[in-house]
Structure 1
Amino acid sequence: MALPRAQPAEILRAWQKDDLYEQKLAGSLAKFVSPQYVSKTVPVSSLLYKSLTTLQDLQTLGEEYSGIVQVDDTFHRLPSFFSRLLSIILSTFGEDITRRLLKNAEDKVVRSATLKPEAQNFFLIMLKAMGNITSKITSIHRALSYISGGPIQIGKSLMGIDYVHVRPAVAYHAHLRLLGFVTLVHAFLSCGHSIYQAKKHFEQMSDFPNEVDSSKSCVACLEEIVNPCVLQCGHFFCMQCCYGPLEICALCRTPFTKNTVVPLMNFAPGVH
């Protein structure tokens, strides 16, 4: 006879407990590293904690506290080592890996000598929008787990891992379902706003793809221009982009060097 599927409240309680222990471990590790590496202690502590528990076919402290156990999609067997390993990697580094891939794709589009300016602008805007939506995917998945159950970590869901009770379960907490719907609505609204902003930027760029950029937005980072600079080709960008990774004009693909960038004082693009 299969054990009953774990309820969302118990899964959430276990996740909160494990997150607390991971934070404490990260705080302890931070005492032994230089300040520049403190931010790295968070993923390292998560990887270490899960490797000593989940990867060893053991319950985490949070799972033991809530009386739940990880199982595969049959609900009769423990997850395979390969499934557990991939779920740990995806849960710990999945969002960071996705952002790095999108950033590399943006750099390749900017440096491309074959794409037309219109296509370049379109891909840059889409990649920027995808980057904004990435963080919302985690929120959507968490909301769905509040509503219908299942693991909170998206890595476990991708690998077909779920939870069952090994002790009598407590009553289902109805407020989690409401929280799930609210979180879901907020995440969808945020995604819609990102898509709307991408559409708005693309419409602005399509109006003057090869003319001097008079928009208030920097084509490279798609943010409002701060400390405007002008290139030899006549296009405006913010100083952070000109003196940062940008090596060719994102509008006309004209190469430039940092010493040819002209900072503009007391000038606001789009104001005539």
Structure 2
Amino acid sequence: MALPSAQPAEVLRAWQKDDLYEKQLADRVAKLLPSQHTSKAIPLCSVIFKSFTTLRDLQTLGEEYSGIVQVDDSYNKLPSFTSRLLSILLSAFGETFTRNLLRNLEKKVERNGTLTPEAQNLFLLMLKTIGNILPQIESVHRAMCYINGGPLQIGKSLTGINYVHVRPAAAAFYSHLRLLGIVQLLHAFISCGQTLYNAKKHMDQMNEMPNEVDSCKSCVACLEEMIQPCVLLCGHIFCMNCCYGPLESCALCRTPFMKNNVVPLMNYYPSEF
């Protein structure tokens, strides 16, 4: 007979306990690492912590505290080794891997000479928008877990891992968690809507940009008045703040450039043309 499903509050309590232990371990490990690698302590310690518990078919400290056990989607067996390993890697490195993938795709789009500038701008805007809504995807997943139950980590959900009680749970009605889930769900949808609205607004602004800069008094990269204009090797002109700031390729023709190749224009004013 299948054991009863774990309540959302028990899953949340177990996750909070494990997160606390992992951060305490990461604080100690970070002191042993060089300063440029301290950010890697948290995912590294998460893998270490779960390798000695979940990967060995043991309860984590949080799961033991809450009296819950991981099971597969049949609710009758422990998850397979492959599912447990994949869930650990996804939980620790899933978001980092996704962001690196998006950045690599952006660089490939920028270097693609077969795409028109309009198509490049569209693809780049889509990739940046996906990157901006990644945190909201996690919020939506967590909100649904508060409402319907299930693991809080997306990696566990993707690999079909769930939780059951192994000892009698206290009878309680977790209405406050359902309410929290609804509020978090609304907040995530509003944030996603705002991100999509900003993306559409930015696309409309790019569609209104002129094809050449020297016919306009403003910088097409930042849409501000061009102060201290600089010319790139491709011949397009932008303000100095953009050339020596966030730009890595021409905003019009997407030609990559190095900062030391930017040429400041002396005694040049766009209004003269």
- Give the shorter-chain TM-score range: 0.7 to 0.9
Separation of aligned partners in 1, 2:176 and 2:128:
35
Separation of aligned partners in 2, 1:138 and 1:238:
38
Give the match's secondary structure for 2:146.
helix
The answer on whether the counterparts of 2:243 and 2:259 sit within 8 Å (CA) in structure 1 is: no
The answer on whether the counterparts of 2:230 and 2:237 sit within 8 Å (CA) in structure 1 is: yes
Give the match's secondary structure for 1:59.
coil
The answer on whether the counterparts of 2:55 and 2:81 sit within 8 Å (CA) in structure 1 is: yes
Matches within 5 A, 1:59-208: 59-170=59-170, 171-208=172-209
CA 1:229 to 1:253, structure 2 compared with 1: closer, same or farther past 3 Å? same
The answer on whether the counterparts of 2:222 and 2:242 sit within 8 Å (CA) in structure 1 is: no
CA 1:70 to 1:260, structure 2 compared with 1: closer, same or farther past 3 Å? same
CA 1:188 to 1:58, structure 2 compared with 1: closer, same or farther past 3 Å? same
Separation of aligned partners in 1, 2:53 and 2:42:
17
Tell me which residue corresponds to 1:5.
5
Q: 1:16-52 CA deviation, whole Å, 9 max, x = no partner?
A: 0000000110011122222222111111110100111
Separation of aligned partners in 2, 1:196 and 1:103:
22
Give the match's secondary structure for 2:15.
helix
CA RMSD of aligned residues (A): 2.6
Give the match's secondary structure for 1:41.
helix
Separation of aligned partners in 2, 1:107 and 1:84:
33
Give the match's secondary structure for 1:103.
helix
Separation of aligned partners in 2, 1:228 and 1:192:
37
State, as a whole percentage, how many aligned pairs show the same letter.
Answer: 62
CA 1:138 to 1:110, structure 2 compared with 1: closer, same or farther past 3 Å? same
Separation of aligned partners in 2, 1:149 and 1:241:
50
CA 1:95 to 1:263, structure 2 compared with 1: closer, same or farther past 3 Å? farther
Shift of residue 254 of structure 1?
3.9
Q: How many matched pairs?
A: 261
Gapped regions of structure 1 (runs ≥ 5): none
Gapped regions of structure 2 (runs ≥ 5): none
The answer on whether the counterparts of 1:231 and 1:260 sit within 8 Å (CA) in structure 2 is: no
CA 1:69 to 1:256, structure 2 compared with 1: closer, same or farther past 3 Å? closer
The list of structure 1 runs, each at least 4 consecutive aligned residues, that deviate by more than 6 angstroms after superposition, is: none
Shift of residue 184 of structure 1?
0.6
Give the match's secondary structure for 2:3.
coil
The answer on whether the counterparts of 1:71 and 1:77 sit within 8 Å (CA) in structure 2 is: yes
Q: TM-score, normalization: structure 1?
A: 0.88
Separation of aligned partners in 1, 2:42 and 2:151:
21
Q: Greater CA deviation, 48-57 or 237-246?
A: 237-246
Letter in 1 for 2:145: S
Tell me which residue corresponds to 2:22.
22
Separation of aligned partners in 1, 2:48 and 2:203:
43
CA 1:251 to 1:164, structure 2 compared with 1: closer, same or farther past 3 Å? same
Tell me which residue corresponds to 2:52.
52
Shift of residue 235 of structure 1?
3.9
Shift of residue 259 of structure 1?
2.6
